[in-house]
Amino acid sequence: MANFDFKLHLKQQDVFFSEARFKVCAAGRRGGKTYLAAVILIIEALRSETSYGRPLTSANAVWYVAPTYSQAKDIMWAQLKELACPLGGKAKEKELTITMPNNRMIVLKGSDREDTLRGISLSYLVLDEYADMKPHVFDLILSPALSDCLGGALFIGTPKGKNHFYDIWESAQTEDWDDWEGFHFCSIDNPMIPRSEIENARRRMTAAAFSQEYEANFTAGGGTHFKREHLIIEDQLRGEVGTTYIAVDPNGYKDTKGLTGSKLAKLDETSIAVVECRADGWWVKDMIHGRWSTRETSLQIIRACQKYRPATCGIENLDVIMPYLEDQMRRLNIYPNIVPLKHGGQKKTDRIMWALAGRFENGRIKFIKAPWNAWLTDQLMDFPSPLAHDDGPDSLAYIDQLAVTVYESEVIHDDWEPEDETIGY
């Protein structure tokens, strides 16, 4: 068997040497993702055991899956043969398979042929251009195939809006997802590409298209409703003290600690907006967000109330979470004023625009400088794209409903009686 020296640039090496079981890599066009995937496929096929110590046999295949079978052939076949055959790999053109000297096989597949993906045992899996695949192909079909030998997977591709690929790439970078790691490299990170080629593409393409295709940035194609120049971020609160309200958009009461496949379902985040309403407008003091179970969501809400002491805490779908809230209130001995939030039959887009657009344009919403600023800004800039999350803007818009409600309740005096019933005052 001949020796072969695989050449990987620094960003490729970060992915290759990562010990994470599941790797999610957003890569720019011509950034070297196909070469990286081919090298990983070959190395994984040459293993005799997994990194978890599970022995591997010829029954445990290594698969490369593209959105379609023809794409798998066009993208990977020539590259894979060029790298694997000098190492003793035997290629079969008709089947698109390469058998390595240890009798373990690399197979090319298309996610569009779902019936051909079932009933096998995999030690490793590469899903290329994952943004173009249906997410259930991994969730329901391929994920179980990795279970026998605790196999790993590489999700790789160029972004295509903020779809399911964005969801797992973003989540893979958090500590909540054990054995997952997210990576990112641009076209310019590949030293083999002349810089002049990239600059020519920059001049030829729109800024949004170049950002997505060459810089591997996830863009949602929204940004028609809110403008970045209208967002005001301050180091500290200024002016008169106002009244604090908390609004909760509790999307996705789900357990995200489940099996591998269950992690990849598109989950909205619970968003808790903490806003102090003053004469000069709203000061957004905090935006607490995360994908939590129902019980954890109730604890996050009560902790926010304990910290900020709001006049009112409004919660959408209150009846679902109220039993958990009551448990937390008794346990922590804090009883905030909690009310239900209703969308009133309005479309979400209309409700958010009605509550926020004018205030932003007139400088009547300010953010306190904090790590969550970027998260909320991204969602506002993407709004109202269906490919992007809008949990932050949604919870923030509900403040409008709370502030108006409390204001009206404060000026109505039920115990008022006229001194003279004849003249009425």
**DSSP string covering 340-364, please?**
EE--TT--HHHHHHHHHHHHHHTT-
Is the bond into 371 cis (omega within 30 degrees of 0)? no
Which CA distances in Å does 385 have to 241, 250, 251, 368, 388?
36, 20, 17, 26, 6
3-state class of 284 per DSSP?
A: strand
pLDDT tier, 224 (very low <50, low <70, confident <90, very high otherwise)? low
Contacts of 338 (CB under 8 A, 6+ apart): 312, 313, 314, 315, 318, 322, 325
CATH class of 10-213: alpha beta
> E-assigned strands of 111-252?
121-128, 152-157, 180-185, 232-234, 243-250
What pLDDT digit, counting tens, does each position of 169-213 carry?
888 887 677 889 998 888 777 777 778 877 877 776 667 677 777
Dihedral angle computed from the Cα positions of residues 92, 95, 99 and 104, in that order, rounded to the nearest 10 degrees: -170
Please say whether the beta carbons of 99 and 142 come within 8 A: no
CATH 3.40.50.300 in the chain: give the residue spans. Answer: 10-213
Distance CA 26, CA 110 (A): 20
Please say whether the beta carbons of 108 and 96 come within 8 A: yes
Q: Is the pLDDT of residue 259 over 70?
A: no
pTM: 0.58
By 3-state DSSP, what share of the chain in percent is helix, strand and coil, each rounded to 5?
Answer: 40, 20, 40
Provide the β-strand partners of residue 24: 155, 182
More confident residue, 413 or 99: 99
By the 10 Å C-beta count (0-12 exposed, 13-18 middle, 19+ buried), 204 is classed as exposed
pLDDT tier, 22 (very low <50, low <70, confident <90, very high otherwise)? very high
pLDDT of 274: 98
More confident residue, 162 or 8: 8
Q: What is the pLDDT of the chain when averaged over all its residues?
A: 83
CATH 3.30.420.240 in the chain: give the residue spans. Answer: 228-410
Fold (topology level) of 228-410: Nucleotidyltransferase; domain 5 (3.30.420)
Q: Is the pLDDT of residue 265 over 80?
A: no
- The mean-pLDDT minimum among 101-105, 168-172, 336-340 falls in 168-172
